[in-house]
Amino acid sequence: MKKTLTYLLITVVAMALIAGVYWSVSFLINQDSEVIQSSQPSASPEESVFSNEDNTVYQAPPKVIFSFSWDDAAFSLQSENWYQNLGSGGYHQVSGIESSQEADNTILTSDETISFSYDTEPDSIIYEVFDQNTDTLVLSEETTDSTIPVMSEQGDYLYVITFLWNDDHRLYTGEYRYTLPLFVDLPAYFEFSKLSVKQGDFIKITAYNVNDDQVPVVNQSVFNRFKLFKSGYTYEGFLPAGYYTGKGTYELEYGFLGEPLLKESLTVLPYDFKIQYLWINETLAAATKNDESSAEYNKYFSPTRWQSNEQAYYTESFVLPATGHLSTEFGENRYTNGLPTSYHHSGLDIGNEIDSPIYATNRGKVVLSMYLIMTGNTIVIDHGQGLFSVYFHMNSTIAKEGDMVERGEQIGYMGTTGFSTGSHLHFTMSFFDTNIDPGYLLVGEPITKENAEEYLN
Ligand SMILES: [Zn+2]
């Protein structure tokens, strides 16, 4: 941002089309931080009532004065439209005036405001803020306040501010529309959703206000597939603690490449996973859990969760993929035919009648839809930014590999295909291939046998 050391007076003159009156927009900038722009008639106050050839008397439109507390701000009067209502049935229209002023509209704090004053209070002010990088409307407000806020997140914004004097009883009605390009350049910082996490939960790490020449860095040993995903000036990454993530304290370093890194300690707390005693039908086990089924699973299923779309496909909240009763919790530690194993159940088992509908928990791309010996009819959805959902044992599938599916869209029918002893959905959610308790995304806490009735019906 450049400091202006001398007074600068720029006058943009626009001509009122019918009345032939000159209007001026003046910018007065000084080094004491004030930038004042005024839009006012060039006529002196006693001349602010003017006439046209028919000797109809028009009152001058109101004037608006902008002020900012940062240097070098400039905006443009895009249009004005005035209708003079003098009771004679006639009106006077002025429109199409445009002026513009070049400036480096960069500000470095978000506690700034844009304020106005007027000689006649407008009936309303409508301001819309567009993100110029994504070309989307991010804020639209109507106000009668004489100040409007600066956006609190870094961005390249365009403010479109319309002042309306539109009450019917006025002698004139009309509007001014101004545009104000504004680059909000804020200090970058990191945020951790939590510093202590139970097995089955995850930590969200966000770096805000990251400029194009900055590279965010996170060094940690909790999760080897950790990755930060860029979205505008924000980076997001997820650090899941799985059932195999050891409890204890982990040192983490974070910051920006080429700068000194900061340190933080993360704690992984144990989760008291339930124990499941499973008595397996030997014939079924032999048919579905063998070298061939493992090789097939490793070949087709495993790689689908090694890479993910850079942008999030998912939005809003997540929906239940099926209703029913919870037969196995996330992480349950299995005793098979009386013997302990290191196996943990990778998701939720939701039991219901055969051919019950199964829905996509959120928007995403189907990256696998096929029959596998071990998991039966199987679907994997990539929700982007490392988040996946997995659906096993379906009687039949609807969604095909490559399909984009919407949140809540039916993707298949419940069944008992593969290594399964009754009609149910096995539902897994994961960041890449580290499985988490889906409850954290669906309802904000683990879904257990104690609360399943509340959540799964
Ligand atoms: Zn299961």
Per-residue pLDDT band at 35 (split at 50, 70, 90): very low
Residue-wise pLDDT tens digits, 330-364: 999 988 788 888 889 999 999 999 999 999 999 99
Residue-wise pLDDT tens digits, 247-297: 999 999 999 999 999 999 999 999 999 998 878 788 888 888 889 999 999
Supply the pLDDT for residue 8.
31
Mean pLDDT (whole number) for 97-104: 57
- Helices then strands, each counted (H, E), the chain: 4, 37
More confidently predicted of 362 and 184: 362
CA of 329 to the centre of ligand 1 (A): 8
Say yes or no: 146 and 239 in one domain.
no
More confidently predicted of 440 and 83: 440
Give the percent of the chain with pLDDT over 70: 80
Beta strand ranges found along 119-201 (DSSP E): 124-131, 136-143, 147-149, 155-165, 172-184, 189-192, 196-198
Residue ending a domain, choose from 253, 269, 285? 269
CA of 127 to the centre of ligand 1 (A): 52
CA of 347 to the centre of ligand 1 (A): 6
The alpha carbons of the chain give a radius of gyration, in whole angstroms, of 32
Residue 3 counted as domain residue: no
CA of 453 to the centre of ligand 1 (A): 18
* Alpha carbons 241 and 239: distance in angstroms, whole number: 7
Residue-wise pLDDT tens digits, 401-416: 999 999 999 999 999 9
CA-CA distances (angstroms) from residue 57 to 23, 50, 62, 85? 18, 6, 16, 10
Say yes or no: 283 and 261 in one domain.
no
Residue 100 predicted with pLDDT over 70: no
Say yes or no: 12 and 112 in one domain.
yes
Residue ending a domain, choose from 269, 303, 332? 269
**Closest listed residue to residue 65, CA positions, set 107, 100, 114:** 114
Amino acid at 122: P
For residue 341 the two structure tokens come to 């194993």
Say yes or no: 229 and 358 in one domain.
no
Supply the pLDDT for residue 73.
67
Say yes or no: 264 and 309 in one domain.
no
Residue 351 counted as domain residue: yes
Beta strand ranges found along 257-315 (DSSP E): 262-269, 275-278
Mean pLDDT (whole number) for 90-97: 56
CA of 221 to the centre of ligand 1 (A): 28
Supply the pLDDT for residue 86.
57
Say yes or no: 431 and 316 in one domain.
yes
Residue 66 counted as domain residue: yes
CA of 407 to the centre of ligand 1 (A): 22
CA of 59 to the centre of ligand 1 (A): 78
Say yes or no: 110 and 176 in one domain.
yes
Q: What angle do CA 152, 157, 158 make, to 5 degrees?
A: 130
CA of 208 to the centre of ligand 1 (A): 38
Give the pairing of strands 234-240 and 202-208: antiparallel
> Is the C-alpha dihedral spanning 40, 43, 46, 52 positive or negative?
negative
Whole-prediction pTM value? 0.76
> For residues 372, 378, 381 and 385, what is the CA-based torsion angle, rounded to 10 degrees?
-50
| Domain count for the chain | 3
Residue 336 counted as domain residue: yes
Q: For residue 115, which phi and psi values (nearest 5 degrees)?
A: -125, 160
CA of 427 to the centre of ligand 1 (A): 7
Say yes or no: 451 and 329 in one domain.
yes
Say yes or no: 348 and 396 in one domain.
yes
CA of 363 to the centre of ligand 1 (A): 23
Residue 20 counted as domain residue: yes
Mean pLDDT (whole number) for 1-15: 31
Per-residue pLDDT band at 55 (split at 50, 70, 90): very low
Residue ending a domain, choose from 269, 294, 321? 269
> Are the beta carbons of 32 and 68 closer than 8 angstroms?
no
CA of 345 to the centre of ligand 1 (A): 6
Question: Strand 202-208's sheet: what is its strand order?
Answer: 189-192, 202-208, 234-240, 229-231
Contacting residues for 353 by C-beta, under 8 A, at least 6 apart: 414, 423
CA of 226 to the centre of ligand 1 (A): 26
Looking at residue 241, which CATH number applies to its domain? 2.60.40.10
> Are the beta carbons of 165 and 122 closer than 8 angstroms?
yes
Say yes or no: 194 and 155 in one domain.
no
CA of 63 to the centre of ligand 1 (A): 70
Amino acid at 456: L
For residue 38 the two structure tokens come to 């005024």
> Are the beta carbons of 173 and 188 closer than 8 angstroms?
no
Residue 1 counted as domain residue: no
CA of 374 to the centre of ligand 1 (A): 11
**Residue 168 domain boundaries:** 8-184
> Are the beta carbons of 32 and 146 closer than 8 angstroms?
no
CA of 376 to the centre of ligand 1 (A): 12
CA of 214 to the centre of ligand 1 (A): 43
CA of 222 to the centre of ligand 1 (A): 25
Looking at residue 403, which CATH number applies to its domain? 2.70.70.10
CA of 447 to the centre of ligand 1 (A): 14
Residue 2 counted as domain residue: no
CA of 362 to the centre of ligand 1 (A): 20
Q: Of all helices (H) and strands (E), which one includes residue 282?
A: helix 282-288
- Per-residue DSSP letter, 421: S
Residue 42 predicted with pLDDT over 60: no
CA 95 remoteness from chain centre: 38
Say yes or no: 237 and 174 in one domain.
no
Say yes or no: 294 and 391 in one domain.
yes
CA of 378 to the centre of ligand 1 (A): 12
Residue 35 counted as domain residue: yes
Residue-wise pLDDT tens digits, 130-170: 999 889 999 999 998 888 888 888 999 999 999 888 887 77
